[in-house]
Structure 1
Amino acid sequence: MSFQPRRVLLISATIGEGHNATARAVEEAARQTWPGCEVVWLDALRIMGRWVPGAFNWIYVTNVESTPWLYDFFYDSLWRYRWFANASRRFVGAWCGPLLRREIRQVAPDLIVSTYPLGTAGLDWMRRRGELDVPVSAVVSDFAPHPFWVYPEADLHYVMSEASLRAMRRAEPDAVGAVSVPPVRSDFHPRDRSESRAGFGFPATGFTALISCGALSFGAVERAVDAALRVAGLARVMVVCGRNEALRERLLARGDPRLVPLGWVEDMPGLMACSDVVITNAGGATALEALACGRAVIMFEPIAGHGRANAELMADAGLAELCPRESQLTETLRRWVADPHEVGEREQRALKHCRSAEFTEQVAALAGLPRHRGRRRLRAQDAFFVYATTPEVSQQTGAILQLEPSLESTHQWCEHLSRRIREHAPALPMLTRTLVTRTGRRPQWSHEGEVDPAEHLSCRELRPEHDPHALISEFFSTAVRTDRPPWQLRLLHDTATGRATLLAKMHHSLGDGVAVTSALIRLLCDGHHPTSSPGPGSRSWQLPEVLRGLVGLATSAGSPSRAWTGRSTPARSFGQVALPAVQVRARARDHGVTSSALLIGLVAEALHRALAEERHGALFRVMVPRTARTGRNGAGTATPGNHTHTLSVDLPVGPMPLVWRIRAVADALAEPDHSGQPEAAGAVLAGLGLLPAPVHSWIVRRIYGHRFFNAVVSVMPGQRRPAHINGTRLSRVLPVLSLADGVGVAVGAIGWGEEFGFGITTDPGLAPEAEDLAGHLREAFDELRERR
């Protein structure tokens, strides 16, 4: 049985009656579909301010009646200028969203349906901030859904025709839509014409035209009356004046016996059943109600903006006749009066359209909608790695996961991993994002509904003639594909020993090392792993602290050494080191430093030994990323994206005893914490996102490279408790970092179980082979252990 909501929230607005009429149809269908459910209404305009409904209604009427050229200009600009449409939607969303959020929290709905575009904008604003996890849909009752109507974060938009669906995709390519039958109350249905006329006291015969132009009855109503009364064979012209009493009085004053001016009409379904043709000018609720009643529709002198667009789409769909001038309306009515067969064909076409589905079933489907995430701009910290990518230096981060021997075959391993991807990847936002890059514009994330394991997993059975190191090098030297979610896994299975090694790589814009590790655990490891967590937190920035950090960054600009930097090459070498975690922590305690400081100190010693032969200077500048994620037990580590602050640290690589070097490194790592450099670096990265995309890209390419540092060194948090994949213990994790442009070395370390694993990446055209550095690092640790 499908999900049955206990409480349905309808978001509409009183600006005319069209949006409310659609909401009433949704309410009726909801109560019929889910007996006992509570339906709550919110008026989006009233929520936005007490003065807003009156002001917006006045602006709307004034534009349509007095300055239609201005309304046309606004409407056309929404279509012509994407930046204008996006800016308008963001403005309204930021206005309505926070006010709507407060009301929604009080209502606590299980399903939200919007029939008013400004309300949908507010829902979109909330969705982008991860604040709304219930199904959200919009019913676009206009035939022409313009860019102000449709939003990428709504799970579904119901539109009125296939032509409307094409227009919706042009307005917002990332929006999800489907064709709906007219969203009208059930009492709008075909009735016997003679019986209906008898109920209103009209003669049973005679061709009858009904003119209805909405609750406000503005536009060319009187010109429509003039054009209709010129038709000699027309028996009567009914005019619904709605709340426009002045119009009704003017029509009554004419004294024409064929003219029937009416005020507010409660039984509109019955009145439409009396007519042979309905004449309107906006293509909104009135046109939909007429179609549901099986009546022929004429669009006369459509109002500016959306009214004209609605009329054209209805005409293209064969559901209305478009008459832009009085003479055309008169001629059409004469033809239809003389040929009732043509009117009958129009009625059958309307009925066929309205009977293509049941509106109650379409409303029922809204409760079970999958969540849709629209395209979103990358955070500045994530876009950084898109802009930092060059043809020679891809920005991707990864890991080597080594498992203990098992009896599983290569085929069994591959089947298990494929099943894990199918079942778990769709619930991990980090693994369903596709990178969309456009020249001169900000990169975006597009979310995929499904993940195909064949696009992300490859399996290789190792035989004696295979070189595992060559296969690892080939995997990590190749840039991950970005025409799909940019991550890839490769299984290397040694049939002789039963050992399985998993290689994983992801585009760096997906997340930092902590996010990558967390995603891999949730994707691959046995047991239950939560797929959502609180967003990343960070301690609040204090302005004096940030200012001190900015000064520190400015005064430290420029690397003190040019060692192992220059023009990047595509070649890569990879090295691995694993150190016993118990002994690392013991040596750190012995020397009064943290484990991270000791590990980076060992890297500095390895650099010293490799640099000694080249006689470079005593300082070697490295960038040291530090996580900005907070929370007990790593809360927030599952959050995608890069949440790090980077320290610029000058490592001592000149001659000195190893223990002195470790102490000097610990001091160098501690000093920036007091100067505010991490916070300043974070503020700078966030600030870059405010710049135009070409400027942002230009700056990134000039600050992330050999002009400012010589290497990247990162020590990432891991986990000590055992983890298993397919029942086999994950014994070792080795991070694999990307290089920066013109920088020859990147070293990553992570604590996993009983070991600290190092992954070393070098550009052999700029720096030594990675295995040479790995050998120096092992020797340094052995020497430190022996000096205990």
Structure 2
Amino acid sequence: MERVLIVSANMGQGHNATGRALEDAIRRRWPDATVRWINALERLGPGFEGLFQRIYVANVESVPWLYEFFYAAIWRIPWFAAASRWFTASWCGRRLAKPVAEFAPDLVVSTYPMGTAGLAWLRRKGKLSVPIGAWVSDFAPHPFWVYGAADLTMVMHDVAVAPALRSSPSAHVGVSAPPVRAVFRPGDQTAARQELELPPDAFVPLVSCGSLGFGEIETTVRELLAADPSVVPVAICGRNDAVAARLRALDEPRLRVVGWTDRPELYTLAADVVVTNAGGATSLEALACGRPVLMHQPIAAHGKANARLMAAAGLALVSTKDGELAETVRGLLAEPERLKEMAEAVARHCETATPLEEALESLVSAPLNPPTQRLRPEDALFVHVATPEVPQQVGAVLVFDPKADGTPVTRADAEHLLAATPGLRTRLLPGSGLWRARWQEDPGRTSAEVLTSVRVGPDAPLDEALTREMDAFFSDPVSPEHPVRARLVTGIEGEQGALLIALHHAASDGIAVISALVGQTRGKEPLVPAAAPRRRGWGERVAGPLRAVLGRFARPGWHRLERPPGSADGSGAAEFARSKSGSGAGARGGAAEPVRGAGPRGGAAELARGVWALARAGAAPRVRWDKRIDSPRRHFARAHLSAPEVRKAARRAGVPTTNLVLALVAEALHRELGATAPEQLRVLIPMSVRDTGTFRQLGNHTGAASVDLPTGAMSLTERVRKTDRMLSGQVDRGAPRAGNAVVRVLGILPPALHRRAAKLVYRGTWFSVIASVLPGARSPVVLNGALVRTVYPVLSLAPGVPVAVGIMTWADRFTICITVPAGQEARGDRLAAAVVEAFGRL
């Protein structure tokens, strides 16, 4: 490390105090480094530094209501905050560009929000590629403090992390030890009092209102004097000589008045508490010395925000009205244990927070904070429709046989497999207000971090253990911050094992998940993210998706919806050939047939037919069953069918296997609903629209056929024929790709409208059940010697949709996994059993 740049500002002394603490840490870590300072306000132009200082002082002392209004606006009015941040960053960035380039630093740290804004602008413009660290010297970060383009943003406590991420969800946020000079540390209170000639047994509150001496210090001191005769206040007035003179004029023998001092650490050590009204550097110095804080009549805006967070952290008590401070002090004198508890909370915070040198080392050694990218509309849909009760997570359950030596699958095996999971190193940023949903790479995340282990045995029955663990694991939803979770279950009879994987549906679709996991066992390259979209004007944003949609419809050779080339078991080309010859799918292709366009005109016509089919369907037929979903807790019922027997039955019936299995689902729904079963039940059937250009990409590449499955009274043979006819008709009309096109075109809408439209289209008004048939692996899949015997696909519910049926071809079986809300376990179990029973009758 040769050159380090510190960006601060002369706005009081708090920002510079933080900068000096960082400089000390830098010199301890890299003694030979050249350190240079930049005053961000001075760089804005002639006169701006003095102007900003006068505005700040006037806001705090004369028009605090105006300061409060501005502070509230940057939190509550998204467009105002965005515009203000953009203007500030652009202005400061341009002014900092030259001095930063001239110094050519190896590391930049900022202690002032406008400086951080300017550095972030330089990063986004490609003009600053070295690590950028920002230390938020206020206890409560506000939107001008936090920028995702900074590589590390250090806040002052765990409770400040959430507000920081609310300001900028893509920021990399850590918790710093108080950034103060090394002289501020716990020490001997008795010795400090002796040196300052303070009574050893008195209750000493240190009154400090920063270098500018803000606030009603005289009123504060009078309250402290009135609290109890044992109280000996020490007032540090900074450079405010007028206040110091007025305090001395009180002629109070217990009061000690101090003007500007270069030994504030000694006074802090001598005190029992520090009384302040801002919550900036003075409070941090108090915490570093192990002293709790009393926030009395905090100044407007950031002062009040600091007070709220410090109180929430248990480090401070807040008094806002005249007389409350005296009452607070009397309470502490009457209950000394309370003061002791606060001091212990301060000590715990300082022990667990990251030391400055360690944070600097992490900043230098870690990768730069990656930029964010917009989520594709197909992926953003599942961010927008998720609710606490209906999270959008999908997954898979892999059941392993023991290895040849009789040992079960290990945690190391599971970590190796999980390393290929789509979304593992992804953070989802849901967006709000003016901001679209985005995603960001988290390069440091590993499979070991997302994997937990549980041993349920020895020799626990497989079905019982799997049901219990699945219901518990998948009832705890993933979060956008951590969109992948996994659990390895061992101790199952016969040394079997199971790996449960859950991921946010916005991270990828089922085909990508299975393809990635199978590919990992066979040494294939991992899936790749879709190319980041370049910035476009409004006209191109509208025209681009439309051109893409029409272009996909116009391609001369769309691939098979059921299993695109390069499928999970690597047999896509052969499978596609079989479907063309009719040997695998029956006489007619139906849902399994390759869909072909006929040039641009044919593609546009097919898109129009598909959209018309979707529009004409209208609301779903009414179903009389319990639709309540009042928690994320779920139950998963499982079953499986013999794959060779299913294919034989499909050939006999002259229908694709997909359509046959969905007919069995329709029969099970008829049995479940009984006499109340409608003639038709609307089922949303996701289908892949991947082609050779997208098959190896992460994300959702699916459309959907909204099909009214026949659920009225009829023979099973008739139900199979009707199901085949309805599914084939939807595919022939281009419904899956039309559904995908609609979702993509919805992405043109402004963010707020896009979120509302997504919630409108993906709910129980339009369909009553979700059912998906996923391609799996026909040939054996082995993980480090352990055969993957079975894989169950896990689907999420939708708002108002209480049943989801996942079906997958895996080796010698079709696996079935039915998702229902907790409390409706019996329904799920009956449906799974009814599918098996119906196939037996067929």
- Residue aligning to 1:481: 476
Question: Is the 2:15–2:111 contact (alpha carbons within 8 Å) kept by the matching residues of 1?
Answer: yes
Q: 1:158 to 1:172 in 2, by over 3 A?
A: closer
Higher CA-based Rg: 1
Q: Which deviations, in whole Å up to 9, do the C-alpha atoms of 1:596-648 show, x marking residues without a partner?
A: x94432234324555777696665422123468888464442x6xx6755442
Task: Report the TM-score when normalising by structure 1.
Answer: 0.55
Instruction: Quote the offset at 1:668 in angstroms.
Output: 0.7
- What is the distance in 1 between the residues matched to 2:464 and 2:829? 19
CA distance in structure 1 between the aligned counterparts of 2:126 and 2:517, rounded to whole angstroms: 22
After superposition, give the CA deviation of every residue in 1:111-166 in whole Å (9 maximum; x if it has no partner): 553343145357779999999997542134x566652464385665567xxxx658
2:76 partner amino acid = F
The answer to whether the aligner puts 1:113 opposite 2:109 as a matched pair is yes
Q: Residues 449 and 735 of structure 1: is their aligned pair in 2 closer, same or farther, counting only changes over 3 Å? A: closer
Q: Deviations over 1:651-690 (max 9, x none)?
A: 5678759678646523412424598432324555896962
Give the Cα–Cα distance (whole angstroms) in 2 for the partners of residues 760 and 428 of structure 1: 25
After superposition, the Cα gap between the structure-2 partners of 1:460 and 1:420, relative to the gap in structure 1 and judged at 3 Å, is farther
The partner residue of 2:685 within 624, 633, 654 is: 624
* Gap change, CA 1:75 and 1:652, over 3 Å in 2: same
What whole-Å deviation, never above 9, does each CA across 1:280-320 have from its counterpart, x for those lacking one? xxxxxxx9xx569x9999xxxxxxxx995547637856899
> TM-score, normalization: structure 2?
0.53
Distance 1:415 1:490, change over 3 A: closer
> Matched residues in 2 for 1:658 and 1:446: separation?
46
Q: Is 1:542 equivalent to 2:546 in the alignment?
A: yes
Residue 752 of structure 2 aligns to a residue whose secondary structure is coil
Structural mapping, 1:54-73, within 5 Å: 57=49, 60-61=52-53, 63-64=55-56, 68=60, 72-73=64-65
Greater Cα offset, 412-421 or 398-407: 412-421
Report SS of the residue matched to 1:601.
Answer: helix
Which residue matches 1:400?
A: 397
Report the Cα distance in structure 2 between the residues aligned to 1:573 and 1:462, rounded to whole angstroms: 24
The residue type equivalent to 1:541 in the other structure is: P
Q: 741-750 or 75-84: which moved more?
A: 75-84
Deviation at 1:417, TM superposition (A): 5.5
CA distance in 1, matches of 2:645, 2:124: 41
Q: Secondary structure at the residue paired with 2:545?
A: coil
**CA distance change for structure 1 residues 359 and 767 in 2, over 3 Å: closer, same or farther?**
closer
Shift of 1:373: 10
Matched, 1:313 2:283: yes
Q: Structure 1 residues 711 and 423, CA, compared in 2 at 3 Å: closer, same or farther?
A: closer
- Give yes or no for the alignment of 1:178 onto 2:177: yes
| One-letter identity of the residue aligned with 1:116 | Y
CA deviations over 1:13-61 (Å, ceiling 9, x no partner): 79999979987997898699669989999998999xxxx7569657624
Post-superposition Cα deviations, 1:519-576, rounded to whole Å, max 9, x if no partner, equal: 8669x958687597456879942299799788765543212x4468544697763222
CA distance in 2, matches of 1:456, 1:716: 27
Q: Tell whether 2:453 aligns with 1:457.
A: yes
Pair 1:367-2:371 in alignment: no
Match of 2:730 in 1: 668
Distance (Å, rounded) in 2 between the aligned partners of 1:747 and 1:57: 65
* Number of residues of Structure 1 aligned to a counterpart in Structure 2: 615
Change in 2 beyond 3 A, CA 1:407/1:643: same
Aligned to 2:463: 469
* Aligned CA distance change for structure 1 residues 744 and 65 (closer, same or farther; 3 Å): closer
The equivalences for 1:493-642 within 5 A come to 495-496=493-494, 499-505=496-502, 512-514=509-511, 516-517=513-514, 533-534=529-530, 540-542=544-546, 553-559=614-620, 561-562=621-622, 565-567=625-627, 573-577=637-641, 579=643, 598-607=656-665, 609-610=667-668, 619-626=680-687, 632=693, 634-637=695-698
- Contact 2:14 2:280 survives alignment (8 Å): no
The answer (yes or no) to whether the contact 1:581–1:754 under 8 Å persists in 2 is: no
Structure 1 distance, partners of 2:614, 2:362, is: 56
Structure 2: any 5+ residue segments left out of the alignment?
A: 166-172, 184-209, 214-236, 249-257, 269-275, 298-349, 432-436, 535-542, 551-606
1:301 is aligned to none
- Per the alignment, residue 413 of structure 1 pairs with 409
Alignment match of 1:648 (pick from 706, 714, 717):
706
Instruction: Pick closer, same or farther for the CA change 1:23–1:57 going to 2, 3 Å.
Output: same
- AA matched with 1:473: T
Q: C-alpha separation between the residues in 1 aligned to 2:742 and 2:831? A: 34
Structure 2 counterpart of 1:728:
786
The question of whether the paired residues in 2 share the 8 Å contact of 1:623 and 1:709 is answered with yes
What's 2:558 paired with?
none
CA 1:458–1:668 in structure 2 vs 1: closer, same or farther (change >3 Å)?
Answer: same
Which of 708, 712, 725 is the matching residue for 2:770?
712
- Structure 2 CA distance for partners of 1:609 and 1:726, relative to 1, 3 Å: same
Distance of 1:451 and 1:170 partners within structure 2 = 25
Q: 1:692 to 1:461 in 2, by over 3 A?
A: same
Kept in 2, the 8 Å contact 1:158–1:179? The answer is no
- Provide the secondary structure at the position in 1 that maps to 2:663: helix
Q: Contact 1:10–1:112 (CA<8 Å) still a contact in 2?
A: yes
Helix, strand or coil at the partner of 2:403: coil
Question: Which aligned pairs between 1:334-345 and structure 2 lie closer than 5 A?
Answer: none
Partners of 1:581 and 1:575 in 2: how far apart? 15
Relative distance call for 1:688 and 1:667 in structure 2 (3 A) is: farther
Call closer, same or farther: CA 1:691–1:401 in 2, change over 3 Å. Answer: same
In the aligned structure 2, how far is the partner of 1:775 from the partner of 1:462? 32
Q: 1:78 to 1:459 in 2, by over 3 A?
A: farther
Aligned equivalents of 1:67, 1:632: Cα separation in 2: 58
* Counterparts of residues 123-202 of structure 1 (less than 5 Å): 135-140=131-136, 142=137, 146-148=141-143, 150-151=145-146, 156-157=152-153, 172=164, 176-182=175-181
Between the aligned partners of 1:739 and 1:230, the Cα distance in structure 2 is 69
Which residue number corresponds to residue 262 of structure 1? none
Measured at CA, do residues 112 and 727 of structure 1 come closer, stay the same or move farther in structure 2, by a change above 3 Å? Answer: farther
Structure 1 residues 617 and 81: CA distance shift in structure 2, 3 A: same
> C-alpha separation between the residues in 2 aligned to 1:583 and 1:58?
82
Distance (Å, rounded) in 2 between the aligned partners of 1:128 and 1:155: 12
Is contact 1:152–1:172 with CA below 8 Å preserved after alignment? no
* Alpha carbons 1:565, 1:710 under 8 Å: kept: no
Return closer, same or farther for 1:64/1:660 CA change in 2, 3 Å cut-off.
closer
Match in the other structure for 1:387: 387
The aligned residue for residue 235 of structure 1 is: none
**1:676 & 1:106 partners in 2: Cα distance?**
51
Look up the match of 1:491.
Answer: 489
Q: Which amino acid aligns with 1:502?
A: L
TM superposition shift of 1:771: 3.2
1:474 Cα deviation (Å)? 3.4
1:383 CA drift (Å): 4.0
The match for 2:835 among 736, 754, 773 is 773
Q: Which runs of 5+ in 1 are unaligned?
A: 185-210, 215-220, 233-276, 280-286, 298-305, 325-352, 437-441, 592-596, 781-788
Q: Secondary structure, in 3 states, of the residue corresponding to 2:805?
A: strand
Distance verdict in 2 for CA 1:68–1:765, change over 3 Å: closer
Identity of aligned residues (%): 24
When residues 733 and 11 of structure 1 are mapped into structure 2, their CA distance, relative to the original with a 3 A threshold, is farther
**d(CA) in 1 for partners of 2:623, 2:769:** 9
* Alpha-carbon spacing, 1:309–1:643, altered in 2? closer, same or farther (3 Å): farther
Cα RMSD after superposing both structures: 6.9
SS at match of 1:602: helix
Partner amino acid, structure 2, of 1:368: S
TM-superposition CA deviations, 1:171-190 (whole Å, max 9, x none): 64865322234499xxxxxx
Distance 1:17 1:677, change over 3 A: same
Report SS of the residue matched to 1:178.
coil
Partner of residue 84, structure 1: 76
Cα distance in 2 for partners of 1:551, 1:774 equals 36
